[in-house]
Amino acid sequence: MEKKKKKFLSEYTGSKMRRNEARNGLLFVLPWIIGFAVFTLYPIISSLYYSLCNYRVIGTPQFIGLANYRNLFKDRIFIQACKNTAYMILIGVPVTTFIAIAVSIMLNNKKLRGTSWMRVVFFIPILVPTVVGCLLWIWVMQPDSGLVNTILGYFHIKGPGWLSSPTWAKPAFILMMIWTCGNAIIIYLAGLQDVAGSLYDAAEVDGANFFQQSIYISVPLLRPTILYNMVTLIIGVFQWFTEPYIMTEGGPSNATMFYSLYLYQNAFSFFKMGYASAQAWIMLLVAMVVIIIMFKVFRFGETEMG
């Protein structure tokens, strides 16, 4: 009987201590929970409600059901913004990823001299503030005195008016995206450090050259890193706002009217907050679908041998 009593008291004491630890832990994280509920969860739920309302910030929201969603797909500028964003995802992201992988593989080559300072050169653009970078690229892309067209002129090629041409405006932004891919290059270099050197040695013994080693060893083993960088880049494209806002304001002829820029205009220029909220939820759903497809394409969670 005495043993049962001691066992009961021990279990009770242990249970009480666990409850006290749980309570103390909850008290410590309570400020974060309150902050998350007030500044994140509440705005998310509110935006879902506003997306079903005619809400112009000043005044009471009027419930209109799915009208905002229906009107969006009749909106010519919204369709153009979707096309522009899709262009950057389908063309800009693969081109940037290809160049970043190629540069990282080149910089990982121990036989190549000067790779240390080259890494610094590729990473420096990341340190440039976004506004300064945008102003720099406005000058670089000038049709008459810009650096890009000046270089093309040496080869007797007449450069276009990059940011003033509906045809060349998006390629100009792709060039800027490539210029700022130093962060991805560093991540790819980190991924390449995990590739066993014995694999390259064995391939070299079998007669594989540097290009073949890159194609059949480096790129396949970089698959998780490529997935991470591409998903990050795609999310960045969906959120692309500062660059087009400063450099073109969506022009010319809405050629650079990207999704987030048009969302901002609806919310804070036209004060169509309900309309913008519907646009935000569509962006969330589309981004989720695109990322799920990316995970399926790269077979996330599977090993290379599997």
User: Using one digit for the tens of pLDDT, what is the confidence trace for 68-120?
Assistant: 999 999 999 999 999 999 999 999 999 999 999 999 998 887 777 777 788 88
Q: What is the rounded CA–CA span in Å between residue 175 and residue 180? A: 9
Rounded CA gap, 68 and 63, in Å?
10
What are the tokens at 27?
Answer: 């008290």
What pLDDT shows up at residue 265?
95
- Whether the CB-CB separation of 170 and 84 falls below 8 Å is answered with yes
Phi and psi at residue 303, to the nearest 5° = -80, 165
Percent of the chain residues past pLDDT 70, beyond the cut: 93
Averaged pLDDT score across all residues of the chain = 88
| Total-model pTM | 0.86
Q: What is the pLDDT of residue 171?
A: 94
pLDDT in tens, 143-168: 888 889 999 989 888 889 899 999 99
CA dihedral over 38, 43, 48, 53, signed as positive or negative: positive
Give yes or no for residue 8 having a pLDDT over 70. Answer: no
53-76 pLDDT, tens digit each = 999 888 889 999 999 999 999 999
Rounded CA-CA distance 68/274 in Å is: 7
Q: Which helix (H) or strand (E) holds 10?
A: helix 2-36
| pLDDT at site 305 | 42
The pLDDT value recorded for residue 40 is 92
Which pLDDT tens digit goes with each residue over 170-192?
999 999 999 999 899 999 998 99
pLDDT of residue 302: 59
- Both structure tokens of 290: 């695109």
Four-CA torsion 56, 58, 60, 65, nearest 10 degrees: 10
Indicate the SS3 state at residue 213.
helix
Q: Calculate the dihedral angle through the C-alpha atoms of 149, 150, 151, 155, rounding to the nearest 10 degrees.
A: 90
CA-CA distances (angstroms) from residue 278 to 60, 82, 264? 17, 14, 12
